Amino acid sequence: MGHKRSWHTAVVHFTVTVIMITMVISYVHASVNVGTTSAEASSSSNATNVYPRNSDIHHIQRSDVEEALDIIDAAWSRSLGDDCVSTVGYKSLPVALDPKRFDDSRRKIDMSAIMLQNLGSMGHTNNLLDAVARSILTSITNAVATRVIILNASTNIIIDETWMKRTLDVMEEPVKLESDTLRVGYRPYEGFPWFQIANDTNSHLRSAKFKQPFAADSYRGWWTFPYLSCKTHQWLMSYNIYVRKADYPHSTTLDYLSVDIDISGLEINQCDLSASKSSDDVDETFNNQMESFRGSHKCDKDTTQCEYRGQANRKKSDIYQLSVAPGWVKGAYICRCRIGFYSVDATNTIGNEPPGFDGTLVEAAWTEMRSNKSDLYHKVFKCIKCAIGCVTCKGPEPCLATYNWPFREKIPKFRILYKGIEIQLLLKFEID
Ligand SMILES: *[C@@H]1O[C@H](CO)[C@@H](O)[C@H](O)[C@H]1NC(C)=O
Ligand SMILES: *[C@@H]1O[C@H](CO)[C@@H](O)[C@H](O)[C@H]1NC(C)=O
Ligand SMILES: *[C@@H]1O[C@H](CO)[C@@H](O)[C@H](O)[C@H]1NC(C)=O
Ligand SMILES: *[C@@H]1O[C@H](CO)[C@@H](O)[C@H](O)[C@H]1NC(C)=O
C-alpha cells in the first residue's frame, strides 16, 4: 500500500510542478510584455517610408523630394554656385507647394487681372501699370515683386513693362526695377521661373515651370514651383496670369501679370504627419510647414522616432545668422530612441529625454549609404532594445532583478498556492 501511495504522490507532485512552471512562465511573459508593447504598438505602422498622399499633393515622387532637399541644403550652405549662374539667379525646386495657403493673395491678384482686362487697350499708360503694380505690392502679404508686361500678341515682343519690388520688414515704398532681362523691344527671357511664352490662342500655360492646377480650381493664373532667388537668398513662389483683353481676339496685345510671394518664412518639417501631437493644433502649427516634405526623415523607424526641431527649439549657433530663411533647412530633426530602446552613442540627451541622433548627421550618413560610400547609417543610427524586463533603460544591463518588484512579490504567493494545491491533492489521495 505504501508503495502505491508514494507512486501517487510522485505523480501529483510532478503534475503540480508542471502547473506551477506554466504559471510562472506565463506570468513572466505577461510582465515582460508590459514593457515592450508600447514600443511595438508605436512602431507597428508601416515600416516603409510612405510619403503623405493626400489629395493636396499630386504624384509626389520620393526622388523629387530628395532632390528638393539637396537643393535646400545647398542653398543653406550657399554652395549652389554653378546652379545659380546657369539659371540666371534662380533655382527651382522639383516639388510643388500647396498654394491654398495663398488663396487670399491669389484672389487679389485675380481681381487686378480682371481690372486690366476690362481696361482693355486703354490701360497702356505707364502710370497706370505702375499704379497696378504698387497697389498689388502694398495690399498683399509677403508680396515682394510685381511685374506688368504688355506683349505684342503675335511676336511676344515687349511693348511696355513695369517691374516693382519692395523689401519686407522695412516700411519702404515699392521701387521700380530696371533689368536687362526685361526690356521694351525684346522678348522676355524664357529662363525666368515665372515666365513662359503662351503657345496657343487661349494662352494656356502647360509648362513644366508651373504647377498643374486641380480640376476644381478656377484660378486665372498659374503658380510656379518654389524657387530660390540667388541674389536676395529668398525663397519665392510666383503667381502669373496672361490677361486676355476684353476686345479679344481683336486685341493685338497681351498683358502678363506676375507677382512674387516671399515664402522664406515657411519651414521644412520632415517628420511623419502621424508623429504630431493632437489634431487640434494641426492647423496652427502646420500653417507654416510644407506638406510635401512630411515623412522624408531618415530615422530608423523601428527603433527611433522623428522629432521636429523647429526654429524655436534649435540651438542659436545652428541657425545661420545671416539666413533670411531659417526654416529652410534639411535635417532639422532628432531621431529619438523609442521607449524600450537605448543608445550609448546618441547625443542630445537633455534631462530625462531619451537619447537621439542629430538629423543632419543622419541625413549625411543616409546620403553616403545611398552612394555606397559607407554603411555608417546602418551601423550607428539605430537604438538597441533594452534587456528583457526593462521598460526603459540607459544601457544593456538587465533590470528584471532590480526593478520588477511586483514580480518578486508574486513568487512567495505562488509558493503558498503551490503548497496548498499539493496538500489538498495529497489529502484527497490519502482518503481514497
Ligand atoms: C501598410 O500596412 C497595411 C496594413 O496595416 C497594409 O495593408 C499595406 O500594404 C502596408 N503598406 C505598405 C507600403 O507596406
Ligand atoms: C506686333 O508685331 C507686328 C509684327 O512686327 C506688328 O506688325 C504689329 O504692329 C505689332 N503690334 C503692336 C500692337 O505693336
Ligand atoms: C505648343 O505646344 C505644343 C505641345 O504642347 C507643341 O507641340 C507645339 O510645338 C508648341 N508650339 C509652339 C509655337 O511652341
Ligand atoms: C550601390 O551598390 C548597388 C549594389 O552593389 C548598386 O546596385 C547601386 O547602383 C550602387 N549605387 C551607387 C550610387 O553606386
Instruction: Read off the pLDDT of residues 328-337 as tens digits, 9 standing for 90 and up.
Output: 999 999 999 9
Residue 281 has pLDDT above 50, yes or no: no
Higher pLDDT, 355 or 420: 355
Alpha carbon distance 19, 14 (integer Å): 9
What confidence score (pLDDT) does residue 391 get?
A: 86
What confidence score (pLDDT) does residue 248 get?
A: 64
Mean per-residue pLDDT, 48-58: 36
Residue 191 has pLDDT above 50, yes or no: yes
pLDDT-derived band at 279, boundaries 50, 70, 90: very low
CA pseudo-torsion sign 383, 386, 391, 392: negative
Among 83-87, 153-157, 176-180, 332-336, which is the least confidently predicted range?
Answer: 83-87
The upper half-sphere exposure of residue 414, i.e. CA atoms within 13 Å in the direction of its Cβ, equals: 19
Alpha carbon distance 280, 127 (integer Å): 48
Q: Which long-range contacts (CB under 8 A, 24 or more apart) does 320-325 make?
A: 320/76, 323/76, 323/233, 324/232, 324/233, 324/234, 324/264, 325/233, 325/234, 325/235, 325/264, 325/265
Cell of 322: 545671416
Residue 359 has pLDDT above 70, yes or no: yes
Ligand 4 atom with the smallest distance to the CA of 370 is 13
Contact yes or no for 268/293 (Cβ under 8 A): yes
Mean per-residue pLDDT, 21-32: 52
Residue 95 has pLDDT above 50, yes or no: yes
Cell of 60: 509626389
Beta bridge partners of 210: 224
The CA 63 to ligand 2 mean position distance, Å, reads: 45
What DSSP assignment string belongs to 381-406? S--EEPPTT-SS-SSS---HHHH-HH
Atom 12 in ligand 1: residue holding the nearest Cα:
46
The residue length of the chain stands at 432
**Which ligand has an atom closest to residue 375 CA?**
4
Residue 23 has pLDDT above 60, yes or no: no
Higher pLDDT, 143 or 213: 143
Residue 27 has pLDDT above 60, yes or no: no
What confidence score (pLDDT) does residue 39 get?
A: 35
Residue 49 has pLDDT above 70, yes or no: no
Most confident range, picked from 30-34, 81-85, 107-111, 116-120 = 107-111
What confidence score (pLDDT) does residue 46 get?
A: 34
What DSSP assignment string belongs to 191-238? TSTT-----STT-----TTBPPPPTT---SSEEBPPEEETTTTEEEEE
Cell of 324: 533670411
The CA 46 to ligand 1 mean position distance, Å, reads: 6
pLDDT-derived band at 278, boundaries 50, 70, 90: very low
Ligand 3 atom with the smallest distance to the CA of 200 is 1
pLDDT-derived band at 147, boundaries 50, 70, 90: very high
Among 144-158, 176-190, 239-253, 361-375, which is the least confidently predicted range?
Answer: 239-253
Ligand 4 atom with the smallest distance to the CA of 371 is 13
Residue 106 has pLDDT above 80, yes or no: yes
pLDDT-derived band at 186, boundaries 50, 70, 90: very high
Higher pLDDT, 231 or 39: 231
Atom 4 in ligand 2: residue holding the nearest Cα:
155
Does residue 396 have a cis bond before it (omega within 30 degrees)? no
Most confident range, picked from 27-41, 167-181, 340-354 = 167-181
Q: Ligand 4: does its nearest atom lie under 6 Å from the Cβ of 371?
A: yes
Average pLDDT of the chain is 76
